[in-house]
Amino acid sequence: MSEGRRRALITGITGQDGSFLAELLLARGYEVWGLIRKASLFNTQRIDHLYQDPHAKDVRLHLRYGDVTDGASLLRLVQEARPDEVYHLAAQSHVQASFQLPELTAEVTGLGTVRLLEALRQAGLAQQARFYQASTSELFGDAATSPQDEETPIRPCSPYGAAKAYAFHIVRTYREAYGMFAVNGILFNHESERRGETFVTRKITRAVGRIACGLQERLYLGNLDAERDWGFAGDYVEAMALMLQAPEPVDLVIATGQRRSVREFAALAFERVGLDWEEHVEIDPRYLRPAEVNTLVGDASRARELLGWRPRLEFEALVARMVDADLALARREAALRP
Ligand code: NAP
Ligand code: G4F
C-alpha cells in the first residue's frame, strides 16, 4: 500500500455505479482516477457535478481517455495512477444487447478484465493494488435453487453472463496464482435515477414521468413476469468499498433478498403519480429475449456477517425516488417545449 492519500482507479466511472462510487471515495478523501471512453458526444453527465478545475490546487479527480479493449491505454493509466484500489466496473452491461453483440460483449466484459489484471502485473502493482470485479447475479442464469448465494453453480444463459463468468474465473485464478487481493462482488440488480434508460426500472420510471406530463402515451415492455432482486445503487457501491477493506479477499453476494416482478415495479411506479399502469403498458415482443432469466433473488448473509453490510433503501422508497426524479426531469422537458 502506498503512503499518504489513498488512490483509487475506477473503470466505468461514467456509468451508474461509477458515479456513485466516485462520489463516495472522494467524500472519504481518496484521490480518484477514472477511465473514460472517447465518444462523439459528452458522456460524463453522471460525474459532471464532481468536476474539479484541473489547474486548481489539490485536485483529487483525474480522468483519462482509455478503453478496456486497448491494453496499452490500461497499462499507461495504471502506471500513472499507481492505485491502491482498482474498481473494475467498465462493461457492455446490457443483457439483451449482448445477444446482438456477443463478440463485442466477450471482448469488453470478459477480456477487459484480464487486460486490466495484466496491466497491473506488468506495472509491478499486483501486490500493491486491491482489485474489485463487478460480477453479477447473471452468472447464475435461470438458477435451479433459490435464493442464490456464493455456492450456487455458475450457469449463465446470455452472452453477457458468459463473458462475466470468464471474468469471474480469471479474477479467482489471478488471486490464487499470483496472490493478488482480487475479489468478485456478485451484485444483484441495483437501480437509481442514474440508471441507464434502457434497463427496465428506469425505462418504466422515465415513461411514468413523461406520461404524467403528457409527453408520451404508451410504454412498451417485454416479459412482465420476470422477477428480480432490486436494490439501490448507492447502497451497493458501499459494499464494493467494504470488500476491498476486508482482511481477506472473499467473493460475496450482494442483494436485498426481496423478489419483485416487473409487473409489480410498473404498478407501483404508475401508482406514485396516480395512474393505472394497465391503461398505459403494452407488450412488445421485441423486448423478449432469446433466453430469459425468469427469477433472481440473492442471499447476502455472508456479506452481512463478514462486512456488516446491509441494504438501506427499501424497494418502495427506491421506486418513489426514481419516479420523483423522472417526474422532475419530464417537467423540465415539458417546459422547454414550444
Ligand atoms: P453502466 O451504467 O452500463 O456503466 C458501464 C460503464 O462501462 C460506462 O462507464 C461505460 O462507458 C463503460 N464502458 C463500456 N464499454 C467500455 C469500454 N470498451 N472501455 C471502457 N469503458 C467502457 O453499468 P452499471 O449499472 O454502472 O454497472 C457497473 C458494472 O457492474 C458493470 O460491469 C455491470 O455489468 C456490473 N453489474 C451491474 C449491475 C446493476 O444492476 N447495475 C448488477 C451486477 C453487475 P460509457 O459511459 O462511455 O458508455
Ligand atoms: O433491467 P434489465 O434489462 O436487467 P437485467 O437483464 O436483469 O440485467 C441487469 O442486471 C444484471 C444483474 O442481474 C446486471 F448484471 C446487468 O448488467 C444489468 O444491470 O431486465 C430485467 C428484467 C429482465 O427479465 C427483462 O426480460 O426485465 C425484463 N424486461 C421486461 N421488459 C425488460 C423489459 N428489460 C428491459 N431492459 N426492457 C424491457 O422493455
Nearest CA to ligand 2 atom 21: 200
Alpha-carbon distance 153 to 148, whole Å? 9
Cis-peptide into 159, omega within 30 deg: no
Asked whether 190 lines ligand 1 (CB < 6 A), one says yes
Alpha-carbon distance 259 to 277, whole Å? 20
Please identify, by atom number, the ligand 2 atom nearest to the C-alpha of residue 220: 39
pLDDT score for 4:
82
- Give per-10-residue mean pLDDT for the chain (338 aa): 82 98 97 96 96 85 97 98 98 98 98 98 98 98 96 98 98 98 98 98 98 98 98 98 98 98 98 98 97 97 98 98 98 94
DSSP 277-320: GGGTEEE-GGGS-SS---B--B--HHHHHHH-----S-HHHHHH
pLDDT score for 99:
98
Asked whether 119 lines ligand 1 (CB < 6 A), one says no
CA–centroid distance, 91 to ligand 1, in Å, is: 4
Nearest CA to ligand 1 atom 30: 134
Alpha-carbon distance 318 to 309, whole Å? 18
Alpha-carbon distance 233 to 20, whole Å? 7
User: Does residue 178 have an active-site annotation?
Assistant: no
pTM: 0.98
CA 318 to chain centre: 16
CA atoms in the 13 A half-sphere facing the CB of 24: 20
pLDDT score for 3:
59
Which one of the ligands is nearest to 186 CA?
1
* C-alpha dist (Å) from residue 37 to 91, 98, 164, 186: 11, 19, 20, 25
User: Does residue 132 have an active-site annotation?
Assistant: no
Q: Which residue has the cell 415513461?
A: 207
Q: For residue 76, what is the enclosing H or E element?
A: helix 71-81
pLDDT score for 57:
82
Q: For residue 253, what is the enclosing H or E element?
A: strand 252-254
Which one of the ligands is nearest to 98 CA?
2
CA atoms in the 13 A half-sphere facing the CB of 281: 23
User: Does residue 138 have an active-site annotation?
Assistant: yes
pLDDT score for 256:
98
Nearest CA to ligand 1 atom 41: 190
Which one of the ligands is nearest to 95 CA?
2
Total Cβ atoms within 10 A of residue 247: 6
Grid cell locating 10: 475506477
Total Cβ atoms within 10 A of residue 187: 25
Domains of the chain: 7-190+230-254 (3.40.50.720), 196-228+259-295+315-336 (3.90.25.10)
Asked whether 69 lines ligand 1 (CB < 6 A), one says yes
Pocket around ligand 2: residues whose beta carbon is below 6 Å from it? 93, 95-96, 136-138, 188-189, 198-200, 203, 221-223, 226, 228, 262, 287, 289, 292-293, 296
85, 87, 113, 138: the catalytic one is 138
Ligand 1 probe mutation, 77, 89, 103, most atoms within 8 A of CB: 89
SS3 111: helix
